[in-house]
Amino acid sequence: MIELKHVFKRYPLGTEALSDVGFTLAKGEMAFLTGPSGAGKSTVLKLICLLERPTRGQITVNGHELVRLPTRRLPYFRRQIGVVFQDNRLLNERTVFDNVALPLVVAGMTGDEVRKRVLAALDKVGLRGRERGSPLALSGGEQQRVGIARALVHRPPLLIADEPTGNLDAALSDDIIDLFREFNDHGVTVLIATHDLRQIDRLKKRVIRLGAGHMLGAA
Amino acid sequence: MKAYFTRHAQVFMRTLGDFARSPTPTVMTVMLIGLTLALPTGLYVGLLNLQRLSQGWRPHGSLSVYLKKGGADREAVATIRRVPGVATVRYVSPTRGLREFKTASGLRGMGLFGRHNPLPGVVIVAPARPGPHSVALLATRLRGLPDVTHVQSNLVWVERLDAALAVGRRLVTLLAATLGLALVLILANTTRATVASRGTEISVIRLVGGTNAFIRRPFLYIGALTGGLGALCALLVLEVGLIALAGPVAALNRAYGAHYRLAGLSLRQALALLVLGASLGWLGARIAVARALRQGEI
């Protein structure tokens, strides 16, 4: 599902974020991408979502060679990935329903199908009945669940998450990570960037380690 | 196709909601656009009225031919009648001319000029073919006749008025183009600020696979709506102006015994102004969003 080969990323001011990074993640696999702050975890995720392009190297995601993917094809590529952020990036002036429906609406879906899918996604994350409210009325954990529902509502084959439990306490973190594992059990490929070693130990999934932009190992 | 229109309707309704949520800046922008459009539109309406008014004064290109004083007027009139291009002639004798002058100038009964009449005989010639070129050619022919001292074309002042109106029309066009450009820039700047305030929303839409067209759509609606409402505001300003002028124009009518009514824009012209306002708003928004989208692309 994901393959990175000799990937380098240098930012305009000369900061080398990644240097010769490479790993593969098979379809249906779940893995943690870990390392200290500044290791390059977020940069790897940005490259996989094509929010950034690599300076050098080859990245293949779900059969697409990202280096060759033209800019006009980006939106259609991104519809194959679900992304969850630490700060969840919800639109607070829209309802929970509208936030979750967004990936379906941008894909051109309307009417009953949107409603059915959004309610099903909210049901999965335990927020059925909260769809008419504002995200601001929800707790941090609930907001993160809305973010996860939004990432999965369009049923992408790949889910990536950048520090999804960074702002949550231990119990809520367990809930969120368990949700990811549940989706993985249903065949979704999951890659989670985190430095929460407790979660890594708890789930016994594959771990890809980064340090100062270099690969430290992929166990 | 139904889904396409449904999506547009949803975006349009959301845009109206955004308008309602922040009415103050929207109303101020609409008023600014309205006043910007009202100036050239008002001048255009002024010119239209001047043009309409002058239609009623236009002679049909007749020529006044002044004969030699003390000459043989009867023979001169017969000669003029035979000149090619002359349709009809009307002779005004010196006596009749003086009488008409005294009546028109209000000097009748004042005993001016005594027995001495300084006016020559005048022949009013109607050309067979109207139009400035034919009339000018006929005037040249008439000037060549021996008993003629002076030929005056009644079209001269009309030509001058037409030239002045043409200058006015050109000025209005230039003003409209300049203010139209200003309007596009105003709306581009307003949209740029709106785009900046929605940076998070745009980045999330990009992330979930929104195309540039999807991101652009609400801003284009905002631009077109703001421009269209601005044009509506300009029409209202114009209407208020016409109502304010109605009284003085009525007084002028009474003074001259005339029956002129100020005309505003026709329905078609009003609709054209609304479409123009909306189009300029759309263009301004399109420029601003295109720039913002280019900056966010990788």
Both B133 and B163 in one domain: the answer is: no
Q: Identify the domain boundary among B128, B154, B180.
A: B154
pLDDT per residue over A105-116, tens digit each? 888 887 888 999
Query: pLDDT at residue B298 above 60?
Result: no
Q: Do B204 and A102 touch (CB under 8 A)?
A: yes
Q: At A122, list the tokens.
A: 């909210």
Look up the domain containing B260 and give its range.
2-57+159-296
Q: Please tell me whether residues B264 and B167 are part of one structural domain.
A: yes
Nearest to B67 by CA among B154, B149, B152: B149
Q: Both B199 and B262 in a single domain?
A: yes
Give how far the C-alpha of residue A153 lies from the chain's centroid of Cα atoms, to the nearest Å: 13
* Domain end (from B112, B127, B154): B154
Residue where a domain stops, chosen among B154, B189, B207: B154
B121 in the same domain as B82: yes
Would an 8 Å CB–CB cutoff place B203 in contact with chain A? yes
Between β-strands A16-25 and A2-10, what pairing exists: parallel, antiparallel or unpaired?
A: antiparallel
* Lowest mean per-residue pLDDT among A66-80, A101-115, B149-163: B149-163
Beta carbons of B206 and A103 less than 8 Å apart: no
Tens digit of pLDDT for each residue in B102-155? 777 766 666 666 667 888 999 999 888 877 788 888 999 999 998 899 998 877
Average pLDDT over residues A6-13: 88
Can you give the C-alpha Rg of chain B in angstroms? 31
For B276-296, how does the pLDDT look when each residue is reduced to its tens digit (9 = 90+)?
A: 999 999 999 999 888 888 776
Kindly calculate the radius of gyration of chain A based on its CA atoms and give it in whole angstroms. Answer: 17
Query: Domain count of chain B?
Result: 2
Same domain, B181 and B200: yes
For the segment B11-35, the average pLDDT, to the nearest whole number, is 80
Upper half-sphere CA count for residue B154 (Cβ side, 13 Å): 14
Chain A interface residues facing chain B, Cβ-Cβ under 8 Å? 49-53, 71, 74-79, 83, 89, 91, 102-103, 105-111, 150, 154
Residues B33 and B73 in one domain: no
Cβ–Cβ < 8 Å for B165, B86: no
pLDDT over 90, % of chain B: 35
Nearest to A75 among B3, B203, B211 (CB): B211
One domain, residues B7 and B52:
yes
CATH number reported for the structural domain that contains residue B112 in this entry: 3.30.70.3040
Name, in order, each residue with C-beta under 8 angstroms of A210's C-beta and a sequence gap of 6 or more: A21, A33, A34, A35, A39, A40, A41, A44, A216
Question: Does residue B29 sit in the same domain as residue B108?
Answer: no
Q: What residues pair up with A23 in beta bridges, in sequence order?
A: A4
Closest to A80 measured CA to CA, from A55, A60, A56: A60
Q: What is the spatial order of strands in the sheet that B63-67 belongs to?
A: B86-92, B122-127, B63-67, B148-153
Q: Cα distance from B43 to chain A (closest Cα, Å)?
A: 44
Structure pTM?
0.73
Contact B242, B288 (CB under 8 A): no
Average pLDDT over residues B170-187: 90
What residues of chain B lie within 8 A of the CB of A109, using their CB? 3
Contact in structure between B297 and A72 (CB atoms under 8 Å): no
> Do B68 and B112 reside in the same domain of the chain?
yes
- B35 and B173 in a common domain: yes
pLDDT at A102: 92
Classify the complex by whether its ipTM is higher than 0.90, answering yes or no.
no
Domain with CATH 3.40.50.300 in chain A: 1-79+158-166+187-219
pLDDT score at B237: 95
User: Nearest CA to B198 among B289, B278, B291?
Assistant: B289
Report domain A1-79+158-166+187-219's class.
alpha beta
Q: Which residues pair with B282 in a beta bridge?
A: none
Q: What is the pLDDT of residue B59?
A: 61
CA dihedral A50, A56, A58, A59 (to 10 degrees): -20
pLDDT at residue A167 tops 80 = no
Alpha helices in B56-198 (DSSP H): 73-82, 94-105, 132-143, 156-197
